[in-house]
RNA sequence: GGUCCCGUGGCCGAGUGGUUAGGCAGAGCUCUGCAAAAGCUUCCACAGCAGUUCGAAUCUGCUCGGGACCUCCA
């Protein structure tokens, strides 16, 4: 059995994964800012790290997965309004900040359920950890790496860089930053342009504000993650995840803060997912090219040719390695939809098949199946290569379908191999990839409708028996228009699939 | 401007020295009352140029093109 290797952004190489405490993994992933609706781009890290969470558990680790909710809003440090993002929007929508936060938190959780993402072990909020953040800032000041000015506190990046490798994660060179940082508000308070805010004094119009040793204000952008990760995972933990766009300055700053407080780079392995692009450009608010998740699921967006099921989106994302960009397109989504359906149908058939005992009567096939199953784990161990693992599974689809349609002898595989095949599909599709049938997740069916459908199938069968194809075709075609596809199987049974 | 990344067949995408990736779409065949599904076969690649090598999509250099970060950002 191969061992798990992960690409560590911090060292820029693939490394064998070893957890700090044997059998346990601590993982922190930057969560959503709940000041607005999540879009397709946001879905990627949460699905990526959900699968990583699931895979680590599958490997037998006890995982504490911490994913924060940023509900204090990030201060738009250089923004002209000098207002908290959430506060700004709250004024527009005439809502209390916490009402807005609650609304979008709920919507976010709804989206996570649509994707069948497991709940994180702990989901701390920034507003719930103001005290911890203030304590951490105090520690940094005491250590001499931060200074207070006019009620704000800044981290002394220049001093830090003299003693620690600032910029290692994101490949920055501190002198370059000097030249490229823009000339903006609040800069005159800082000793150096590279310095970043730990605490900001709140201007009068700022709704969200807390009392601190430096006056009324709110936490800087990066401190919440450091404070909450430290609190729940300790001074050094195993995995820190997030989008590549967070490497600088967010994660770089986290490293600096935590290093001063805990004397360690906070995480051993830094994992970063790449962006979802649309027409080759990153999907993002500032590019004005976002597709919200609600729009994606409903199809209600000019760029969408149809609605896409959350499972289609999940599968679409998993068909690409998490560190590659993924380009959105209707054709690509539709391909994912069909591919998933084929894979899922085969899975369904596989679970219904019975092995007669004995075998393998086809030794070469048996061998190939065993090898392919082994490859699945090998590919997941290779930095969570879900794309390759899915390709492995597609290699097995013709085998399954051929067994089902009796092109292969029922005992072509040994009973042992057959069980392994069934188990591998269940484990990977459901437990690791977190896929589920579209009907199950839709939850639309009920027993009564099922019975009605069975009745129609029965009537159609009778019509076919007396060669009344007009009737049988009418039933099939009209059901198809309603999104129910009937498929006549060779053995006389009727398969149902939902479009 | 600085730092970094990428350019694979009609579309989406694996792959880092010698092997069919895979999915979807297209073509043909088998099966079928028809259809769908399924199975088999098949077409279409590695941006360009030069170099290293017995051998490169894979390494090196250059050219062209695209992108990310440097500011909120998944």
Residue A49 has a pLDDT of 98
Residue A479: HSE in the Cβ half-sphere, 13 Å Cα cutoff: 23
Last residue of a domain, which of A208, A238, A273? A273
Strand B: list positions under 7 Å from protein Cβ. 1-4, 10-15, 21-25, 31-40, 66-74
Q: Is the CB of A387 under 7 A from strand B?
A: yes
Residue indicated by tokens 């060669």: A467
Between A197-201, A362-366, A400-404, A480-484, the lowest mean confidence (pLDDT) is in: A480-484
Given a cut of 50, whether residue A318 has pLDDT beyond it is yes
Q: Are residues A332 and A216 in the same domain?
A: no
The residue-averaged pLDDT of A341-366 equals 93
The answer to whether the beta carbon of residue A468 comes closer than 7 angstroms to any atom of strand B is no
**Is A476 (CB) below 7 Å from strand B?**
yes
| pLDDT score for A79 | 31
**Per the omega criterion (within 30 degrees of 0), is the bond before A360 cis?**
yes
- CATH number, domain of A355, equals 1.10.730.10
Sign of torsion over alpha carbons A44, A50, A56, A61? positive
Shared domain for A211 and A141, answered yes or no, is yes
A127 falls within a domain: yes
CA dist A448 and A445 (Å) reads 8
Is 60 exceeded by the pLDDT of residue A234? yes
| A30, A179: one domain | yes
> Does any domain span residue A76?
yes
A282 touches strand B (CB under 7 A): yes
pLDDT in tens, A23-50: 999 999 999 999 889 999 999 999 999 9
- In this structure, the dihedral spanned by the alpha carbons of residues A32, A36, A40 and A43, taken in order and rounded to 10 degrees, is 20
Q: Is A2 inside a domain boundary?
A: no
To the nearest whole percent, how much of chain A has pLDDT over 70? 92
Dihedral pair phi/psi, residue A207, rounded to 5°: -75, -45
Q: A174 in a domain, yes or no?
A: yes
The reply to whether A62 and A168 lie within a common domain is: yes
Residue A329 pLDDT level (bands cut at 50, 70, 90): very high
- Residues A60, A81: one domain? yes
Least confident interval from A200-214, A282-296, A394-408: A200-214
Exposed, middle or buried by CB within 10 Å (0-12, 13-18, 19+), for A242? Answer: buried
Answer for A189: CB within 7 Å of strand B: no
Is A84 or A233 the better-scoring residue by pLDDT?
A: A233
* Distance between the alpha carbon (CA) of A177 and the C1' atom of B70, Å: 7
**Which pLDDT belongs to residue A80?**
33
Same domain, yes or no: A216 and A305: no
Statement to judge: residues A62 and A145 lie in one domain: yes
The number of angstroms, rounded, from the C-alpha of A155 to the middle of its chain's C-alpha atoms is 31
Pairing of strands A62-67, A24-29: parallel
* Coil vs helix vs strand at A246: helix
Task: State the pLDDT at residue A445.
Answer: 59
A246 touches strand B (CB under 7 A): yes
A120 Cβ contact partners less than 8 Å away, ≥ 6 residues apart: A29, A31, A53, A65, A66, A67
Instruction: Give the C-alpha separation, A175 to A441, whole Å.
Output: 52
Q: What is the pLDDT of residue A183?
A: 47
Task: Identify the domain boundary among A391, A417, A439.
Answer: A439
**Averaged pLDDT, A376-394:** 96
Q: Could you tell me if A480 and A414 lie in one domain?
A: no
Residue A437 has a pLDDT of 85
Task: Taking residues A221-236, report their average pLDDT.
Answer: 96
A188: pLDDT strictly greater than 80:
no
Instruction: Say yes or no to pLDDT of A294 above 60.
Output: yes
> Are A347 and A452 part of one and the same domain?
no
- Residue A438: its pLDDT value, please? 73
How distant is C1' of B42 from CA of A335, in Å? Answer: 20
Please give the average per-residue pLDDT across A355-383, as a whole number. Answer: 94
Element (H, E) at A328: strand A326-328
Q: Is there a single domain that holds both residue A476 and residue A435?
A: no
pLDDT at res. A72: 86
A414 and A268 assigned to the same domain:
no
Q: What backbone torsions phi and psi does residue A325 show, to the nearest 5 degrees?
A: -70, 155
**Residue whose pair of structure tokens reads 């839709």 in the numeric block:** A442
Question: What domain range is A459 assigned to?
Answer: 445-498
Tens digit of pLDDT for each residue in A408-420? 999 999 999 999 9
| Residues A11-20: tens digit of each pLDDT | 999 999 999 9
Residues in Cβ contact with A165 at an 8 Å cutoff, skipping those fewer than 6 apart: none
pLDDT of residue A499: 67
Which of the listed residues A224, A246, A273 is the one where a domain comes to its end? A273
Q: What is the model's pLDDT at position A172?
A: 85
Q: Are residues A405 and A303 in the same domain?
A: yes
Q: Residues 59-78, chain A: which have Cβ under 7 A from strand B?
A: 74, 76-78
Q: What's the rounded mean pLDDT across residues A103-107?
A: 94
Q: Which of A53, A174, A59 is nearest to A119 (CA)?
A: A53
Beta strands in A136-195 (DSSP E): 146-149, 152-155
- Mind listing the pLDDT tens digit for each residue in A474-486? 999 898 888 888 8
In a domain, A490, yes or no: yes
In a domain, A218, yes or no: yes
Q: Is the pLDDT of residue A126 over 60?
A: yes
Q: Judge whether A456 and A479 are in contact, CB under 8 Å.
A: yes
The answer to the question of residue A1 being in a domain is no
Answer with the residue of higher pLDDT: A65 or A495. A65
Q: Give the pLDDT score at A444.
A: 54
Residue closest to A297 by CA, chosen among A311, A283, A280 = A311
Q: Distance between CA A318 and CA A490 in Å, rounded?
A: 33
A77 pLDDT band, cuts 50/70/90, is very low
Whether the bond into A249 is cis, omega within 30 of 0: yes
Q: Which residue is closest, via its CA, to the C1' of B20?
A: A395
Q: How confident is the model at residue A360 (pLDDT cuts 50, 70, 90)?
A: very high
Of residues A493 and A393, more confidence is placed in A393
Phi, psi of A152 (to 5 degrees): -110, 160
**Mean pLDDT of chain A, nearest integer:** 90
Residue A321 CA and nucleotide B8 C1' are separated, in Å, by 15
Q: Which nucleotide is nearest to A345 (CA to C1')?
A: B37
How many domains would you assign to chain A? Answer: 3
B39 C1' to A449 CA distance, Å: 33
Kindly state the average pLDDT of the residues A248-269: 96
Residue A168 Rama label (left phi>0; alpha psi -120 to 50; beta): alpha
Asked if the model's pLDDT at residue A74 lies above 80, the reply is: no
Q: Give strand pairing partners of A147.
A: A154
Whole-angstrom distance, CA of residue A16 vs CA of residue A238? 12
Structural domain includes residue A16 = yes
pLDDT of residue A187: 65
d(CA A491, C1' B43) / Å = 34
Exposure pattern of A269-307 as b/e (b: 16+ CB <10 Å)?
Answer: bbbbbbbbbbeeebbbeeeebbbbbbbbbeeeeeebeee
Find the CATH number of the domain harbouring A100: 3.40.50.620
Q: Mean pLDDT throughout A342-362?
A: 93
**Residue A471 Cβ under 7 A from any strand B atom:** no
């Amino acid at each position: 059995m191969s061992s798990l290797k992960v690409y560590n952004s911090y060292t820029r190489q693939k490394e064998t994964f070893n957890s700090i405490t044997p059998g346990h993994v601590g993982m922190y992933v930057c969560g959503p800012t709940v000041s607005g609706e999540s879009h397709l781009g946001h879905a990627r890290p949460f699905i990526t790290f959900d699968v990583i969470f699931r895979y680590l558990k599958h490997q037998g680790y006890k995982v504490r997965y911490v994913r924060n909710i940023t509900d204090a809003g990030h201060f738009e440090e250089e923004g002209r309004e000098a207002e908290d993002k959430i506060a700004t929007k709250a004024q527009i929508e005439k809502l209390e900040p916490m009402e807005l936060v609650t609304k979008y938190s709920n919507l976010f959780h709804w989206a996570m359920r649509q994707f069948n993402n497991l709940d994180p072990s702990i989901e701390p909020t920034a507003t719930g950890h103001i005290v911890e953040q203030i304590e951490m800032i105090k520690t940094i000041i005491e250590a001499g790496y931060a200074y207070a000015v006019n009620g704000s506190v800044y981290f002394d990046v220049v001093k830090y860089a003299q003693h620690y490798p600032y910029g290692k994660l994101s490949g920055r060179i501190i002198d370059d930053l000097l030249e490229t940082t823009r000339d903006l508000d609040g800069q005159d308070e800082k000793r150096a342009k590279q310095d970043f805010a730990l605490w900001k004094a709140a201007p009068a119009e700022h709704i969200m504000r807390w009392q601190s040793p430096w006056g009324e204000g709110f936490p800087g952008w990066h401190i919440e993650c450091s404070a909450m990760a430290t609190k729940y995972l300790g001074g050094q933990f195993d995995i820190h995840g997030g989008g590549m766009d967070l490497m600088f300055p967010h994660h770089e700053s986290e490293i600096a803060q935590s290093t001063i407080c805990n004397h360690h780079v906070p995480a051993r392995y830094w994992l970063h997912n790449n962006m979802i692009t649309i027409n080759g450009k990153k999907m993002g608010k500032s590019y004005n090219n976002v597709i919200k998740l609600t729009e994606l699921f409903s199809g209600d967006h000019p760029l969408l040719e149809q609605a896409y099921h959350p499972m289609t989106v999940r599968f679409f994302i998993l068909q690409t390695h998490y560190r590659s960009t993924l380009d959105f397109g209707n054709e690509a989504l539709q391909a994912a939809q069909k591919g998933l359906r084929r894979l899922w149908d085969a899975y369904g058939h596989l679970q219904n098949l019975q092995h007669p005992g004995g075998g393998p009567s086809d030794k070469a096939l048996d061998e190939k199946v065993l090898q392919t199953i082994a490859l699945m784990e090998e590919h997941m161990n290779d930095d969570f290569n879900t794309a390759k693992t899915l390709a492995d599974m597609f290699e097995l689809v013709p085998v399954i379908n051929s067994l089902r349609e009796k092109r292969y002898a029922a005992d072509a595989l040994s009973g042992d191999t057959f069980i392994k095949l069934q188990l591998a599909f269940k484990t990977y599709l459901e437990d690791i990839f977190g896929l589920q049938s579209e009907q199950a997740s839709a939850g639309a069916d009920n027993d009564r409708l099922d019975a009605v459908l069975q009745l129609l199938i029965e009537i159609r069968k009778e019509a076919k028996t007396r060669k009344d194809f007009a009737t049988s075709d009418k039933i099939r075609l009209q059901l198809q228009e309603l999104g129910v596809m009937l498929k006549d199987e060779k053995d006389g049974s009727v398969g149902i699939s939902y479009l």
